[in-house]
């Protein structure tokens, strides 16, 4: 297997949280294959850019993705997070 992917770790984290908004940082790290520290930085980036809202739920976090947020790259800037999810979840 080569060492590149179609999606960035930021995309992987956001897509995971869209499907499982109560995941722990440890679980996200394991699923994406990165460190917990890297997940914390990515979550912070996503929150700062308006892709996530973080709500405290006791000792845990609940992540509320902003599905109407537009993707950042000029080639995808007309596409929202919801549209990306729909495209990825579409049946073949």
Task: Pull the structure tokens for residue 60.
Answer: 């845990």
Nearest CA among 87, 11, 4, 90 for reference residue 49? 11
Q: pLDDT tens across 10-49, in order?
A: 999 999 999 999 999 999 999 999 999 999 999 999 999 9
Nearest CA among 70, 69, 67 for reference residue 86? 67
Classify residue 92 by its DSSP letter: -
Q: Which pTM was predicted?
A: 0.90
Angle at 44 between CA 42 and CA 48, to 5 degrees: 115
The mean pLDDT of the chain is 94
Domain boundaries defined on the chain: 9-89
Which CATH architecture does the domain made up of 9-89 adopt?
Orthogonal Bundle (1.10)
Q: Give the span between the Cα atoms of 46 and 32, in whole angstroms.
A: 16
């Amino acid at each position: 297997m080569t060492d590149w992917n179609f999606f960035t770790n930021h995309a992987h984290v956001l897509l995971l949280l869209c499907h499982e908004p109560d995941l722990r940082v440890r679980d996200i790290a394991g699923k994406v294959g990165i460190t917990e520290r890297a997940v914390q930085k990515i979550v912070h980036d996503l929150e700062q850019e308006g892709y996530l809202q973080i709500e405290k739920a006791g000792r845990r976090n609940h992540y509320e993705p902003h599905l109407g947020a537009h993707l950042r790259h000029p080639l995808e800037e007309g596409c929202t997070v919801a549209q990306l999810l729909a495209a990825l979840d579409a049946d073949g």
